[in-house]
Chain A
Amino acid sequence: MTTAALARQPPRRRSTLNLVIHQVRYEQLSFWRNPQSAIFTFVFPVLFVTIMGALFGSLGRSTYFGGLSALQYYVPTIAALCVLGSCYGQLAVALAARRQNGILKRVRATPLPAWIYFIGLLAHCVLVSLIDIALIVGVGRLYGVPFPSHWLAIALTLVLGAATFCALGVAVASVISNADAAPAVAQLVLFPLLFLSGTYLPIHSRLLNRVTGWLPVRPFNEALTGPLSQHTGAEWRQLAVLVAWGAAGAVVAVRRFRWSPRPE
């Protein structure tokens, strides 16, 4: 009787902050333990900037690159590409896989609040993005792109961009029902958008630029180009477009996200 009475007294819950730290810690641990994903995540940006540097490093400023040197153009777009890759691409694929094999259902069965689970994922994406950007800026310096001076603007852009593309990644993972299709669907949406938004080559069509200016990738490229290559501060208009997309993604994610592999 007494033990039953004792058992019924709910033990104290961990504080929310404590739980967030716990979740971020284990999410990191499981990422760094997977050597392949860890290496590829960071080798890719270094390789990409190195290749671009080898190809175009000797070119000076040109009107083709909007008055920037080739590397001044590519450092921010590749940085954006990496943030997109880890926040949108990898997250959508990882979530679809975790749902399919039942890991998400098990997470849902624990008392961990859903939002803390997602904070763990977002924190991971921000961290990976930070490391990527540091690597890219470092390699860019070797090719004569000066270090940026507006770090606060970069940090703000990075966090907003990561949050936006995470929300879009979760939204896409919510809409995809089949984990096998996830990588293809995620890339199918992303690849043309990257091209049209000038990630790989500058786009000189005013119409195209106006359209892609309202889609999520170009504003993010521009928001990073300012503080990374032009020594300007935060690009508020672009950030506003980005946040609007993030909010839309979050709405879809919250309404459509499924934990269980089986449809309702």
Chain B
Amino acid sequence: MHPEVTGMPAPAAGTGASAQRESLPAISVAGLRKSYGSVQAVCDVTFCVRDGEIVALLGPNGAGKTTTLEILEGFRDRDGGIVAVLGRDPRDKSAARELRERTGLVLQDIAVEPYLTVRETIARQAGYYPGPRDMREVIGLVGLAGLERRKVRSLSGGQKRRLDLALGLIGNPKLLYLDEPTTGFDPAARRSAWDLVRQLRAAGTTILLTTHDMAEAQALADRVVLLSNGTVVAEGPPAGLGGDSAEHARISFMLPAGVPLTDLPVAADLQDGAVVIETTEPTAELHRLTSWASRRDVVLSGLTVDRPSLEDVYLRMTGDGGPSGAPERSPR
């Protein structure tokens, strides 16, 4: 089920130790549980984030993403399970300072003190870390160059979020947490935020992000952990997510005028006026369909063949809109 976790290297002794440590995951979570009163927010969550990877915790609101993240960050205690972040337990108070030196986090809401300048705000944060990144580099990276002397309160909302991101990066973290990094961004801002995340990964930063946006998970993540109702319902690279259903292809076209659905040579459904054929053998089905169409001299307008998108998988697996729709719940 979760080969990454069961395959976790045991602490090795002797010469092989450094090679072993190289493959140690940045984050490993096994059997994580947390409840608020009678509400089980996170139930038996298991996943890992390898060194240098971008992993997305994907799920609807109340799926347990933020709770999981806050347990990893050390803000919340857990009820059960094993958690290791950069080889340390975030619950372990003696590891807290070291962990905070090596991790950065960017939270959902903007919170920056209004009266300092951009440069001062970043310089203050930089002073907390033993090996901070170059300030100019970070300001350039987040796109705040030229605004160094501006007061924070005169920045736009988007600029403040970029400042927040700069604060998460200035300590040169090995591991970066991004909590819903592009919520509320316009499409252009979102693109540039995605580019930045890719740049960071290219520079060797391991990133765990939460999102409820499938497109974002698909665009950024090496692997996606799909959460619903506090449990992992799917895990894997975004392309292969959804297991068997990923093998399915979907053929669709507009139903030609005057042709009843039953005349078609393959089993088909009608969805919103379009004919939809779900199949595991798209080549053969397509051949049958097109030869039938040319024999009958029928045009299959809008003919497309695609695989189910992550969105389909997401909606089905999280039960959103499905018959067993997951109730919205959030500890917030």
A4-B22, A29-B116, A109-B105 known; A14-B111 Cβ under 8 A? no
Q: Name the residue in B76, B111, B167 with the highest tally of chain A Cβ atoms < 10 Å from its Cβ.
A: B111
A residues less than 8 Å from B174 (CB atoms): 7
Closest B residue to A4 by CB, please name it.
B22
Task: Please determine whether B100 and A30 come into contact, CB atoms closer than 8 angstroms.
Answer: no
Question: Would you call B129 an interface residue if the criterion is a C-beta within 8 Å of the partner chain's C-beta atoms?
Answer: yes
Interface string of B94-133 (1 = CB under 8 A from A): 0001101101110101111111100010001101111100
Which single member of B18, B105, B127, B332 contacts A262 (CB below 8 Å)?
B332
A residues less than 8 Å from B124 (CB atoms): 22, 26
Question: Would you call B73 an interface residue if the criterion is a C-beta within 8 Å of the partner chain's C-beta atoms?
Answer: yes
B residues less than 8 Å from A4 (CB atoms): 22
Interface string of A12-36 (1 = CB under 8 A from B): 1110000100100010011001100
A13 to B130, CA, bound (A): 5
Question: Would you call B331 an interface residue if the criterion is a C-beta within 8 Å of the partner chain's C-beta atoms?
Answer: yes
Closest B residue to A116 by CB, please name it.
B128
Question: Would you call A105 an interface residue if the criterion is a C-beta within 8 Å of the partner chain's C-beta atoms?
Answer: yes
A residues less than 8 Å from B311 (CB atoms): none
B residues less than 8 Å from A109 (CB atoms): 73, 100, 103-105
A14 to B305, CA, bound (A): 60
Task: Please determine whether B111 and A105 come into contact, CB atoms closer than 8 angstroms.
Answer: yes
Task: Please determine whether B115 and A111 come into contact, CB atoms closer than 8 angstroms.
Answer: no
Task: Please determine whether A105 and B101 come into contact, CB atoms closer than 8 angstroms.
Answer: no
A residues less than 8 Å from B18 (CB atoms): 5
Question: Would you call B171 an interface residue if the criterion is a C-beta within 8 Å of the partner chain's C-beta atoms?
Answer: yes
Task: Please determine whether A110 and B130 come into contact, CB atoms closer than 8 angstroms.
Answer: no
Count of chain B residues near A, Cβ 8 A: 37
A residues less than 8 Å from B171 (CB atoms): 110-111
Residues of B within 8 A of A (CB): 18, 22, 70, 73, 75-77, 97-98, 100-101, 103-105, 107, 109-116, 120, 124-125, 127-131, 151, 167, 171, 174, 331-332
How close is B272's CB to chain A, nearest CB, in angstroms? 41
How close is A41's CB to chain B, nearest CB, in angstroms? 14
The 5 closest A-B pairs by CB, nearest first: A11-B131, A102-B111, A33-B115, A111-B100, A11-B130
A105-B107, A109-B105, A259-B75 known; A12-B128 Cβ under 8 A? no
Residues of A within 8 A of B (CB): 4-5, 7, 10-14, 19, 22, 26, 29-30, 33-34, 101-103, 105-106, 108-113, 259-260, 262, 264
Task: Please determine whether B77 and A264 come into contact, CB atoms closer than 8 angstroms.
Answer: yes
A92 to B21, CA, bound (A): 46
How close is A31's CB to chain B, nearest CB, in angstroms? 8
A33 to B152, CA, bound (A): 11
A216 to B295, CA, bound (A): 97
Closest A residue to B100 by CB, please name it.
A111
A22 to B128, CA, bound (A): 9
Task: Please determine whether B115 and A34 come into contact, CB atoms closer than 8 angstroms.
Answer: yes
Task: Please determine whether B128 and A103 come into contact, CB atoms closer than 8 angstroms.
Answer: no
A106-B107, A110-B171 known; A14-B115 Cβ under 8 A? no
Task: Please determine whether A262 and B331 come into contact, CB atoms closer than 8 angstroms.
Answer: yes
Task: Please determine whether B331 and A22 come into contact, CB atoms closer than 8 angstroms.
Answer: no
A260 to B331, CA, bound (A): 13
A residues less than 8 Å from B101 (CB atoms): 10, 13, 111
A65 to B129, CA, bound (A): 55
B residues less than 8 Å from A262 (CB atoms): 331-332
A13-B130, A26-B120, A111-B129 known; A102-B107 Cβ under 8 A? yes
